């Protein structure tokens, strides 16, 4: 598998809606 | 000119370097209930930063590769097990998950009265565990006092006959054992790190107003490996015993986080829907292999104004997971080659230097105070395009070596 690691996730707000079956991204999370 | 500039980041080199003092984020944290502050394990925001055993980046990347090898092994094992199930046969199962360098930690309270514990938070594993007294075999050195179950009025062991005990088989990859009617877990990671101890329940405190009673966790009596000085691990995977599943009634299996751009700033980990940004773009999770990982679909990558020419099957065949515990993103070889080739082309004005560990696209930027780097965007399923921050594109090894922060898998089928 490819793996999206934590360096690439920096500063993004990463949202896990596990029940809704979706993953969200928003810029400028911190 | 404006159109071209919109495809590049102008970056001050100093902004890629961690500062020596902590600058806490003003976003996210403390605005919402059920929010924890996230900080880098080895930065000035962490009390663990004084740790003499702080690894070099080279060591972190070596541990990262152990974790990745282990994830590949585990997913391949799941695929093999699926084949086995189809055949109604059985094979012996070995667990393999590398912890490597988890990197980001949060502080939670455990027990009554609560004791603070700094745990690595990990969307790539499920079991939450902490070191426990009396440390019947081995406890490594940790920063917080080691949790003492006898001192907690709400602590209890889980019996061998409980359903939860039997669920450890999928959560850890190892069947639980039994010691004087108490359920005993064992989890081993791909780099040979492991934790063994009593499967237990106690109150977990997220914030002063947010308590999770009877939370199932591992009370480790024999813990060895690459856990640094942290007190253990917070498992945020999908399996039935993960924190996410255990708190489903309370938080609706919904959580979010922001990882800070440098080890000298902080981010947040928030449970529940409250306060999530309105500008979030969602991609559907892809079909999962195994019970743990979060699979997503990458459909394209762009570098600057160039959309890379990568066949959809390059991503689709092996699949992709998102993991807060892996440091460097691993791409299928063909995708990485396209990415690094285009990046080199657009960075040709900067002098290149030899590879560093798993990173093979590196530059000497010591003569520059400001640089212009092409933006890198990922497009996920559902046509969700995400621009990476500069901190997600370049990683600073030292003043004369800055590298593209991506690596290739060794095999297209990984």
User: What is the predicted ipTM?
Assistant: 0.94
Chain A nearest CA to B64, separation (Å):
10
pLDDT-based confidence at residue B30 (cuts at 50, 70, 90): low
E strands, B172-277, are 177-179, 182-188, 194-207, 210-224, 232-235, 254-258, 266-271
**Cβ separation B329–A18 shorter than 8 A:** no
Q: What is the pLDDT of residue B50?
A: 57
Find which of B34, B124, B277 to mutate to test the A interface (most A CBs within 10 Å of its CB): B277
**Cβ separation B258–A29 shorter than 8 A:** yes
Angstrom CA distances, B81 to B40, B74, B296, stand at: 36, 10, 22
**Nearest residue on chain B to A15, judged by CA atoms?**
B256
Instruction: From chain B, pick out residues whose CB is under 8 angstroms from the CB of A30.
Output: 25, 27-29, 38, 258-261, 265-268
- Residue B30: how many CB atoms within 10 A of its CB? 13
Residue B178 in this model has a pLDDT that exceeds 90: yes
Residue B88 in this model has a pLDDT that exceeds 50: no
Instruction: From chain A, pick out residues whose CB is under 8 angstroms from the CB of B255.
Output: 15-16, 18
Share of chain A above pLDDT 70, in %: 100
pLDDT-based confidence at residue B176 (cuts at 50, 70, 90): very high
**Nearest residue on chain A to B104, judged by CA atoms?**
A6
Q: What does the pLDDT look like over B243-280, one tens digit per residue? A: 999 999 999 999 999 998 887 888 999 999 987 888 99
Residue B101 in this model has a pLDDT that exceeds 60: no
**Cβ separation A24–B276 shorter than 8 A:** yes
Comparing B198 with B288, the larger pLDDT belongs to: B198
Chain B nearest CA to A17, separation (Å):
5
- Lowest model confidence (mean pLDDT) among B21-30, B91-100, B164-173, B221-230: B91-100
**Cβ separation A3–B330 shorter than 8 A:** yes
Q: What is the pLDDT of residue B375?
A: 97
Q: How far apart are CA B136 and CA B388, in angstroms?
A: 46
Angstrom CA distances, B85 to B76, B79, B81, B88, stand at: 14, 10, 6, 5
The catalytic site residues of B sit at 122, 323
Share of chain B above pLDDT 70, in %: 89
Angstrom CA distances, B161 to B60, B80, B126, B166, B179, stand at: 40, 29, 21, 8, 12
Helices (H), B21-102: 57-87
Instruction: From chain B, pick out residues whose CB is under 8 angstroms from the CB of A23.
Output: 282-285, 294, 296, 322, 380
Angstrom CA distances, B316 to B143, B287, B312, B313, B331, stand at: 43, 11, 6, 5, 12
């Amino acid at each position: 598998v490819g793996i999206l690691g934590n360096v690439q996730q920096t500063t993004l707000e990463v949202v896990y809606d596990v029940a809704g079956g979706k993953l969200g991204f928003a810029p400028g999370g911190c | 000119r404006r159109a071209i500039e919109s495809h590049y980041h102008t970056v001050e080199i100093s902004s890629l370097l961690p500062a020596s003092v902590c600058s806490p984020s003003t976003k996210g944290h403390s605005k919402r209930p059920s929010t924890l502050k996230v900080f880098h394990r080895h930065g000035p925001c962490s009390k663990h930063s004084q740790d003499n055993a702080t690894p070099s980046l080279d060591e972190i990347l070596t541990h990262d590769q152990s974790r990745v090898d282990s994830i590949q092994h585990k997913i391949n094992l799941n695929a093999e097990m699926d084949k086995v199930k189809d055949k109604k046969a059985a094979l012996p199962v070995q667990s393999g998950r590398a912890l490597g360098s988890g990197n980001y930690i949060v502080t939670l309270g455990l027990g009554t009265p609560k004791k603070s514990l700094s745990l690595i938070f990990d969307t790539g594993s499920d079991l939450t565990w902490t070191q426990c007294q009396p440390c019947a075999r081995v406890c490594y050195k940790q920063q917080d006092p080691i949790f003492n179950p006898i001192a907690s009025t709400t602590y209890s062991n889980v019996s061998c006959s409980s359903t939860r005990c039997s669920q450890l088989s999928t959560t850890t990859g190892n069947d639980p054992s039994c010691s004087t009617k108490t359920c005993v877990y064992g989890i081993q990671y791909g780099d040979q790190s492991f934790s063994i101890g009593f499967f237990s329940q106690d109150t977990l405190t997220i914030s002063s107003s947010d308590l999770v009673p009877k939370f199932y966790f591992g009370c480790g009596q024999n813990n060895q490996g690459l856990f640094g000085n942290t007190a253990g691990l917070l498992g945020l995977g999908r399996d039935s015993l993960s924190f996410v599943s255990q708190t489903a009634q309370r938080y609706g299996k919904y959580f979010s986080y922001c990882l800070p751009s440098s080890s000298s700033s902080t981010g947040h980990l928030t449970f529940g829907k409250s306060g999530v940004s309105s500008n979030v773009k969602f991609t559907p999770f892809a079909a999962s292999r195994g019970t743990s990982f979060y699979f997503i679909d990458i459909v394209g990558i762009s570098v600057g104004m160039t959309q890379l020419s990568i066949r959809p099957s390059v991503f689709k065949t092996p699949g992709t997971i998102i993991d807060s515990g892996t440091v460097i993103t691993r791409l299928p070889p063909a995708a990485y080659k396209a990415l690094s080739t285009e990046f080199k082309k657009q960075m040709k004005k900067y002098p290149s230097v030899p590879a560093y560990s798993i990173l093979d696209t590196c530059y000497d930027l010591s003569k520059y105070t400001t640089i212009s780097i092409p933006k890198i965007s990922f497009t996920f399923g559902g046509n969700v395009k995400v621009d990476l921050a500069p901190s997600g594109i370049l990683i600073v090894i030292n003043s004369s070596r800055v590298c593209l922060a991506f690596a290739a898998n060794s095999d297209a089928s990984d």
